[in-house]
Amino acid sequence: MSVLFISDLHLEAERPDIVRAFLHFLDTRAAGAEALYILGDFFEVWVGDDGMDEFQRAIAAALLRLSDSGTRIYLMHGNRDFLIGKGFCRAAGCTLLREGSVVELYGEPVLLLHGDSLCTRDESYQRLRKRLRNPFSLWLLRNLPLATRHKLARKLRDASRLRTREKSAEIIDVTPEVVPQIMAERDVRTLIHGHTHRPAVHKLLVDGQHGQRIVLGDWDQQGWALEVDAQGYHLAPFPLS
């Protein structure tokens, strides 16, 4: 059996092609997997578990069917859906993972991140991220009226798109020198993350030893999945239709 990793699906009802591809993925590849890890930005926007609409409940039900079939499901927050909480996880039969979790894959410890915390050259975003992820800010956000949260979510999404257009690729990408430092601190030689929408396998040195940073792809023009089995790590795209 294998373990699957995906991220950055940005699921929304307005992209039925991605939704169909994801549901097919659950019924085929994920159905035979030992575990499925979703490393953030699973939804395009999430305003709170109490604001789940019919579309989001249908996605949760699909995940629950997979979980009930025996595939373990793990979900990590992204920058678009960091308000996902225990309510969704119960409905979806999944376990919420903390950012920076280390899991063991076939005898190797592997560090898991969404990836936005690695983009340290984007200082304004990091300041915003720190404010939004503060426990008090999270409590406050979850207790705002739903209409206010929807308005704030649209504002944050628009700001994110503007930042992507206006800032250089280097600023919004991962800071390379930060990666081996974090991997050395966590005593791992493999890091898996998403966020940047730049799928690749980067070879690097960690304390003089060979390591790798695997970047998951987004599901916009095509789907991406990382499959891990006893033979190694296999990152590959597939068509949405």
Residue ranges for the known binding site are 8, 10, 41, 79-80, 114, 122, 160, 164, 167, 195, 197
Assess contact for 78 and 112: CB atoms under 8 A: no
Angle at which helix 54-68 crosses helix 16-27, to 10 degrees, equals 10
* Residues near 15 by beta carbon (within 8 Å), at least 6 away in sequence: 44
Q: Which two tokens stand for residue 198?
A: 């730049």
Among the listed residues 50, 107, 102, the one whose alpha carbon sits nearest the alpha carbon of residue 76: 102
Assess contact for 21 and 223: CB atoms under 8 A: yes
DSSP 8: -
* Residues near 14 by beta carbon (within 8 Å), at least 6 away in sequence: none
> What are the backbone angles phi and psi of residue 207, rounded to the nearest 5°?
55, 40
Can you say which residues are annotated as belonging to the binding site for Mn(2+)?
8, 10, 41, 79, 114, 195, 197
Can you say which residues are annotated as belonging to the binding site for substrate?
79-80, 122, 160, 164, 167, 195
Amino acid found at 120:
T
